[in-house]
Amino acid sequence: MKPIVLHPAAEAEMRAAAGFYQDCQPGLGTRFLDEVSRAGGRITDAPAAWPVVSGQVQRCLLNLFPFCLLYRIENERIYVLAVMHLRREPNYWRKRIG
- Domains assigned to the chain: 4-87 (3.30.2310.20)
pTM, two decimals, is 0.92
Give the pLDDT score at 88: 84
Question: Tens-digit pLDDT profile for the chain (98 aa)?
Answer: 899 999 999 999 999 999 999 999 999 999 999 999 999 999 999 999 999 999 999 999 999 999 999 999 999 999 999 999 999 887 878 878 86
Give the pLDDT score at 43: 97
Of 15, 71, 7, the C-alpha closest to 39 is: 71
Listing DSSP states for 26-95 in one string gives: TTHHHHHHHHHHHHHHHHHH-GGGSPEEETTEEEEEPSSSSEEEEEEE-SS-EEEEEEEETTS-TTGGGG
